[in-house]
Structure 1
């Protein structure tokens, strides 16, 4: 009888990734991870590698894939400088609650912590990962590697989704034995929502005359329930950054920040669904007349800023149907607020007409990519305006870096979005400053035939910083002027189809044509100084004490 040949620990690691649905890994290979990539090679396509030109690009691509799908995504890099190059992406994954697995190498086990000065050695790499992730660990026994990887993958989505780090030293990966992949475990049963608290929430919301719903990234998979509850409550639904698309912006009760700010002044109850609601609670203010109901999977954050009057702890997708059902049974039918909200929207739209050319450019993109198209925003003037003026029709079709505000994340992250959503047209919008952070990933788009459309708004400056220097610091303009390449010629040198347009109608045609070709594309839009959007974003306190 034939005896099976021993496998490497790395083979069990690759098998575990595949068993958990992580069959695509974004990466830059290197010596400490050679055994891992040998196992990937030997897996005969069980796991596909998408290699980038910088570790930052690999981590951002994993982040984009996770944000676009809501499912775990993974990247692999060498230790030391490799891990450090991914720190901004990990911080952004943490801020956006994205399930991103950092699978990194280490120096040989026997040398960890001894300060020998080996290649890529850090004083405390695990400590760094622990501070950038939900949890981080190191594999010290090859027989336990598959199980520890399975536990790390499970942790990505248990409770609040967030990034997880796992170190595997090269000698552990190279070990041979009768190692087998670890299969997914059955998720722990979620505790049922407290019926008494559910009744309290229904009673509080039913008594409100002017309720408001605030949705965040935690509500992205509950669109239909949010719609039903909003219509039942006749409550406008406010979304910003991570919550955009939970309710179709064409719905009469869907509102963005400028309208929400007006509604906040007089609302008497706020239902927060999977959202920090940091800007309304911190900046706009609260008082005793405002009651708060919060649905949150992470009980540790309930008391930040202001404790809710009623807290429903658990997964939004489990609690919201119960809340809708209870409201249907126990609360009276409510008078429509649609006409009043429509009038307020029209008033704000008139005020926002000053944001030209930002809104016409965003309208052009919206028209060009259709309802299923995905926009990845950046720290640029059109990006800021998109947070409240770009119409979003479906969940996970507006991708934002959330409160981290990560300059330069856009293009590489959008590559991951497009790679994970090959069925959709994806557009990234960047300024000339931010785009140059990851311009090298044009090569990745070509190498892996990722049909992302990149739009670069070129004003020759870090435009927002320059504006702040001018307006807030007595025109002390410094270190914000940029020397740029010819973006069209640069893109073409990589093999990317490129063009330059000036007007919104030209942009619409260029984006539509590029999306139809399904090839990597870049569109440069030379622009001058644009009108400031900040009075629609940084709005004053209107409730409570200063």
Structure 2
């Protein structure tokens, strides 16, 4: 029979979905049957990837989209599976990662009135008042499939929301009886449900921002994730080259601007210091940033003129948020940057002024390079993250894509890898740990030719559910290098406490309950689940050979490689 589930699968194909990342349950007999029938008849459906853990499965979908730009589907089990998505829902919402989540629902009949009626005790227990409400605050769209006659319309509408800026996850649910309903096949009408076109600057805003940048003494652009769209990077470089604008990354989520460019001024995270370039700027253009600065420690001059461009400039999911901008514009970064470059073609640009800006920022860039080089000096007897990352940088090539969940070493990763390629690095964009393992698999599935390197703290490694991650990487031939920055505990909670209570009891306590002593055998955990290769590194002299062997194992043996890198105790 052709059922609601059959039509659902067809709708996914019509939207270019390659994979269903599935954690199946008792609510999915119709979907399982439709998949089996399609395979038996040779009808095209997405490939089903078995995900023993729901958060891992959704993180795989997240990583796949980050590399391919193509949203995928996640299937989970009623409200239990929906809740188990947990932090991955947060990460996708905050990271603006589009994907479709489908969850079954407990049957709504219990006397055998319809096919799919309740026949297992768990179906009474899993019947809840508002299943969609569990995730509604994080979804761009949610709905319930109530009949198979319009299931394609619901899927099309869901993807239209997911792929329209600001992008994000969407959620559909359907009870067993509905998913078993026999329906007539419908033609592909997905082309009539396209995402909305990218928003652009108004002529007035374009002129105002352009003139401010043109006449400023020290113009500065602050961004966090403009580089999620690879097309935005060359557009940003063109504008900055034309006017000599410095670029500061705040909490970067992507490679937004080439790190070797003389106008690149580095990145700011939680460092409790005023950023000198931000303080000096007389015009600040914020493009695609959720946290352009932390006002309690670093902020622009009160006299600076501030402009803000974002597809979500109100930050509608953030109850407390404000940037004192004189123009707030809802526009897509690449589109707006292209408009600004085109606007400049009709303007008179002072070459001497542009050269002065470039020389000033180039000197700042060179100072930063020298300071970073000093931190990369070869250590004696212990490994520093700066030195390790400098050796990883020496081994990198254009095939590498990094997923970064190094937490307390976030700044070190962005500082010392010195990346220049759009799409070379991703973070989750959110704050729920455990994304990197699944994301690495998703990146590898999207780019089989790439060498994927996951950078993780030891705490975030355990959050990844490594038994599921490394089993999946083995089964679906998606090997990656996973590098664990092992400081034997949660360093970030310690840093947060000391930042608020620098001389308090915690500052003098022997234990803050953040230690992982005795250290788990991380290599053993991963290799047992995935039959990979691993090595624990404590001596700086071992780093180069270990990195080389890890890359060889992933590329030639097609197995995961785990490097457990021991740093100073947190």
Give the TM-score of the pair, scaled to structure 1.
0.88
Q: Distance in 2 between matches of 1:338 and 1:260?
A: 22
**Mapping for residues 380-419 of structure 1, pairs under 5 Å:** 380-402=407-429, 404-419=430-445
Q: Which moved more, 1:61-70 or 1:308-317?
A: 308-317
Partner of 1:238: 248
How far the C-alpha of 1:126 sits from its partner, in A, is 0.9
Q: Counterpart of 2:448 in 1: which secondary structure?
A: coil
Go from structure 1 to structure 2 and tell me whether the alpha carbon gap of 1:426 and 1:260 turns closer, same or farther (over 3 Å shift). farther
Name which of structure 1's ranges 170-179 and 186-195 shifts more when overlaid on structure 2.
Answer: 186-195
CA distance in 2, matches of 1:413, 1:128: 23
Within 2, Cα distance between the matches of 1:190 and 1:378? 30
1:145 Cα shift? 1.1
Aligned to 1:51: 50
Q: Report the Cα offset of residue 242 of structure 1.
A: 4.0
Per-residue deviation at 1:123? 3.4
1:201 alignment counterpart? 209
Give the alignment of 1:281-360 within 5 angstroms: 283-301=297-315, 304-332=321-349, 333=351, 334-336=353-355, 337-352=357-372, 353-354=374-375, 357-360=384-387
2:555 maps to which residue?
516
Equivalent in the alignment of 2:513: 479
Q: Report the CA distance between 1:36 and its aligned residue.
A: 1.7
Asked if 1:24 corresponds to 2:19, the answer is yes
> 1:105 deviation in Å?
1.3
SS in 2 for 1:386: helix
Would the alpha carbon gap of residues 28 and 315 (structure 1) be closer, same or farther in structure 2, given more than 3 Å must change?
same
Contact kept, 8 Å, 1:469 with 1:475, in 2: the verdict is no
Q: Is the 8 A contact 1:205 1:269 kept in 2?
A: yes
- Shift in alpha-carbon separation, 1:240–1:362, aligned structure 2, 3 A: farther
State the distance in 1 between where 2:515 and 2:274 align.
35
Instruction: Check conservation: 1:16, 1:182, Cα contact below 8 A.
Output: no
CA contact (8 A) 2:6 2:34 kept: yes
CA–CA separation in structure 2 for the residues paired with 1:120 and 1:68: 36
Which of 473, 479, 492 is 1:464 aligned to? 492
Note the C-alpha offset of 1:41.
Answer: 3.0
Contact 1:312/1:319 (<8 A) preserved: no
Which residue in the other structure is 1:211 paired with? 219
Which of 378, 384, 404 in structure 1 is aligned with 2:405? Answer: 378
Alignment partner, residue 159 of structure 2? 153
Equivalent position SS for 1:10: helix
Q: Which residue of 2 aligns with 1:268?
A: 282
Shift of 1:19: 0.7
- Equivalent position of 2:234 in the other structure: 224
Q: Secondary structure at the match of 2:105?
A: coil
| 1:163, distance to aligned residue in structure 2 (A) | 1.4
Following the alignment from structure 1 to structure 2, what is the Cα–Cα distance between the partners of residues 481 and 518?
Answer: 35
In 1, the alpha carbon distance for the partners of 2:23 and 2:290 equals 34
Structure 1 vs Structure 2 CA RMSD: 2.8
Q: Structure 1 residue 164: deviation in Å?
A: 1.2
Q: Distance in 1 between matches of 2:108 and 2:248?
A: 50
**Counterpart Cα distance in 1 of 2:128 and 2:327:** 46
Partner of 2:191: 184
Q: What aligned pairs does 1:121-160 form with structure 2 within 5 A after superposition?
A: 121-160=127-166
Question: 511, 535, 545: which is aligned to 1:499?
Answer: 535
- The verdict on how the C-alpha distance between 1:117 and 1:188 changes in structure 2, with shifts beyond 3 A counting, is closer
Post-superposition CA distance 1:100-143 (Å, at most 9, x none):
221111112458xxxx9724333321111211222211111221
Distance 1:530 1:207, change over 3 A: farther
Superposition deviation, residue 183 in structure 1:
2.1
Residue pair 1:92, 1:406 contacting (<8 A) in 2 also: yes
Confirm or deny: 8 A CA contact 2:405 2:456 kept in the other structure: yes
Query: Could you report, residue by residue, the CA deviation over 1:410-463 in whole angstroms, capped at 9, with x for unpaired residues?
Result: 212222222222121111122332212211121111111111111123333223
Structure 2 residue aligned with 1:538: none
The aligned residue for residue 32 of structure 2 is 37
Task: Sort the Cα spacing of 1:283 and 1:21 in 2 relative to 1 into closer, same or farther, 3 A.
Answer: farther
Deviation at 1:269, TM superposition (A): 0.7
TM-score, normalised by the number of residues in structure 2: 0.84
8 Å Cα contact 1:68-1:397 kept in structure 2: no
Structure 1: gaps of 5 or more residues: 1-5, 532-546
Residue 73 of structure 2 contacts residue 101 of structure 2 at CA under 8 Å; is this kept in 1? yes
| Cα distance change, pair 364–53 in 1 and its aligned pair in 2 (3 A) | farther
Give the equivalent residue in structure 2 for 1:66: 65
- C-alpha distance 119-387 of structure 1, shift in aligned 2 (>3 A): farther
Matches within 5 A, 1:361-372: 361-372=388-399
C-alpha distance in 1 between matches for 2:322 and 2:108: 43
Match of 2:261 in 1: 251
For residues 335 and 380 of structure 1, the distance between their equivalents in structure 2, rounded to whole angstroms, comes to: 37
- In the alignment, does 2:88 pair up with 1:93? no
Name whichever of 325-334 and 239-248 sits farther off.
239-248
Hey, what does 2:117 align to over in structure 1? none
1:234, CA displacement in angstroms?
A: 0.4
Change (3 A) 1:327 1:79: same
8 Å CA contact retained: 1:371, 1:393: no
C-alpha separation in 2, matches of 1:306 and 1:390? 30
Secondary structure of the 2:314 match is helix
Tell me, yes or no, if the aligned pair for 1:272 and 1:292 is still in contact at 8 Å.
yes
